[in-house]
Amino acid sequence: MAEVPELSVISMDSYSENEEEFYVDYTCEMKSSMKHLEWTSCHTSWSPCRSGIQSDIKKHRKPVHSFKKAIMLVVFVEKLKGRKCGDKQTFFDDNDLLNHILVEEEISFNTIDDTCAPPSKFRYSKTTVHIIRDSRQKCLTLQEYEGNARLVALFLQGNNLEQEAKINMGSYISAPVVEDKRPVTLGLAGRNLFLSCTPEEDKADTPVLSLTEVTNIQGKRNNDLLPYLFYKAQNTSNSTTFESVAFPGWYISTSQDEHTFVQMKPQDDQVFLRDFVTYPGVI
């Protein structure tokens, strides 16, 4: 019976450097060689045996050599199983690889402050002259007192119609386009005075309407232009409303009584008039 050698006796030099030779299948060779290992016997009923012939049993070296390698492989595997899990010094794991690849480096950067004005949402188109009256046909006239200019709504007849203000209506194209609404500016013809909608003092959510002197209204862009813009919308009754762009839901309105200032009123107001009729040119 073959004995398994001790681990200390086995030399690692016994491994063949040729891997194909280590894993080759010797089954067929062993079968063919077994024919030579059969004993020949003499039987009296058959032909007599020659004298001096003896059985000679030979062992094939390669199967023994292969068996020896298999034993060493088993012993080596068992030796690996016996290692403690905590012994990591003899192995190369993923952390060893990552420590060489992932290296923390300080990244330097510079902050650059670049102020770029966004493109204007409103683009100037053209200016036309109009006369604007409220739904009760009250006219808009200019009144100036101690340097303050205001528009007042009142009834005018005959020669007094010359006091009626003519309005330069500057049309703009908005992006994106607001359906059924056209942004316009409203200025007094012959004067650099434009209607503007700005927050009331101490009341940021309540706008007031005033006349502001502007030298070049077409040169204003973005937020500087918003107080002077109103959405012109036409109703089914052919009347026109002017809604503040800076304060949505607030409209240019007049009182039902005359000699009152033109002012801003919210949409839900039921007292003031916010419907106007516009006439092109001079009537």
**What integer pLDDT is reported at residue 203 of this predicted model?**
82
Distance CA 157, CA 166 (A): 16
Distance CA 240, CA 233 (A): 6
Mean local confidence (pLDDT), 173-196: 93
Task: Tell me, yes or no, whether 158 and 260 share the same domain.
Answer: yes
**What integer pLDDT is reported at residue 230 of this predicted model?**
98
With a pLDDT cut of 90, the percent of the chain lying above it is: 47
CATH number of the domain at 275, please.
2.80.10.50
Q: Is residue 201 part of a domain?
A: yes
Distance CA 140, CA 252 (A): 12
Task: Tell me, yes or no, whether 70 and 152 share the same domain.
Answer: no
**What integer pLDDT is reported at residue 24 of this predicted model?**
47
Rounded to 5 degrees, what are φ and ψ at 70?
Answer: -60, -40
Other Cβ atoms less than 10 A from the Cβ of 75: the count is 15
**What integer pLDDT is reported at residue 250 of this predicted model?**
97
Q: Is residue 246 part of a domain?
A: yes
Distance CA 254, CA 195 (A): 14
Task: Tell me, yes or no, whether 74 and 131 share the same domain.
Answer: no
Distance CA 209, CA 151 (A): 9
Task: Tell me, yes or no, whether 67 and 132 share the same domain.
Answer: no
Q: Is residue 258 part of a domain?
A: yes
Rounded to 5 degrees, what are φ and ψ at 150?
Answer: -140, 155
pLDDT for 54 beyond 90: no
pLDDT confidence bin for 199, thresholds 50/70/90: very high
Mean local confidence (pLDDT), 60-76: 66
pLDDT for 21 beyond 70: no
Other Cβ atoms less than 10 A from the Cβ of 33: the count is 15
pLDDT in tens, 212-263: 999 999 999 989 999 999 999 998 788 999 999 999 999 999 999 999 999 9
pLDDT in tens, 140-183: 999 998 778 999 999 999 999 999 999 999 999 988 888 889 99
Task: Tell me, yes or no, whether 61 and 141 share the same domain.
Answer: no
Element of type H or E holding 22: helix 19-22
Task: Tell me, yes or no, whether 189 and 236 share the same domain.
Answer: yes
What letter would DSSP give residue 183?
E
Q: Residue 114: CB partners within 8 Å, gap ≥ 6? A: none
Task: Tell me, yes or no, whether 134 and 221 share the same domain.
Answer: yes
Q: Note whether 187 and 210 are within 8 A (CB).
A: no
Q: Is residue 96 part of a domain?
A: no
Q: Is residue 142 part of a domain?
A: yes
Distance CA 184, CA 229 (A): 5
Domain around 22: 7-37+55-83
CB half-sphere exposure, 29, CA atoms < 13 A: 10
Task: Tell me, yes or no, whether 154 and 262 share the same domain.
Answer: yes
Task: Tell me, yes or no, whether 144 and 217 share the same domain.
Answer: yes
Q: Residue 250: CB partners within 8 Å, gap ≥ 6? A: 197, 207, 243, 244, 264, 265, 266, 267
Task: Tell me, yes or no, whether 167 and 255 share the same domain.
Answer: yes
Domain count, the chain: 2
Q: Can you name the residues that pair with 124 across neighbouring β-strands? A: 172
Q: Is residue 2 part of a domain?
A: no
Element of type H or E holding 132: strand 122-134
Q: Collapse the DSSP code of 116 into the 3-class scheme (helix H, G, I; strand E, B; otherwise coil) and give the result.
A: coil
Q: Is residue 233 part of a domain?
A: yes
Q: Which amino acid is at 154?
A: L
Scanning 48-193, the segments in alpha helix (DSSP H) are: 61-81, 94-101
Distance CA 116, CA 279 (A): 41
Tally of residues, the chain: 283
Task: Tell me, yes or no, whether 269 and 174 share the same domain.
Answer: yes
Q: Is residue 16 part of a domain?
A: yes
**What integer pLDDT is reported at residue 91 of this predicted model?**
52
Task: Tell me, yes or no, whether 69 and 157 share the same domain.
Answer: no
Q: Can you name the residues that pair with 150 across neighbouring β-strands? A: 143
